Amino acid sequence: AQTVTQSQPEMSVQEAETVTLSCTYDTSESDYYLFWYKQPPSRQMILVIRQEAYKQQNATENRFSVNFQKAAKSFSLKISDSQLGDAAMYFCAYRSAGGTGNQFYFGTGTSLTVIP
């Protein structure tokens, strides 16, 4: 089974600064997707960024970017110019590509605090 590990239970960042959240995963599959989800106090899961494993180029979405190292099975999230609204729980997730199932496997989450 696939496993996703987030080794940072809590992180904090000063407003306007940059922070990097770590994620590693384990899989024997060659085709898959990786995600970062944000879960604010409302508990709604919000997709932050997504990466297809076959793409070498790191995904970016405005202030959010990833460092995808396929060989090392590492998938970190960088948040630039941090804003107060970025404070939330962040989950790294893995999902197989293809097939009919494809549930998400989530890490344990990183709670991000943004300091004004």
Number of H helices, E strands in the chain: 0, 12
In the complex, the residues that contact other proteins under the rule CB under 8 A are 33, 37, 42-45, 91, 95, 97-98, 100-109
- Structure-token match 């991000």, residue found: 112
Cβ distance to other proteins smaller for residue 97 or 115: 97
- Tallying the residues shown for the chain, one arrives at 116
- Diameter over CA atoms, the chain: 45
At 12, the amino acid letter reads S
State the nearest-atom distance from the C-beta of 106 to other proteins, in Å. 5
| Rg of the chain taking only CA atoms, in angstroms | 14
The three-state secondary structure class of 47 is strand
State the nearest-atom distance from the C-beta of 34 to other proteins, in Å. 14
Cβ distance to other proteins smaller for residue 33 or 64: 33
Cβ distance to other proteins smaller for residue 37 or 68: 37
Cβ distance to other proteins smaller for residue 42 or 62: 42
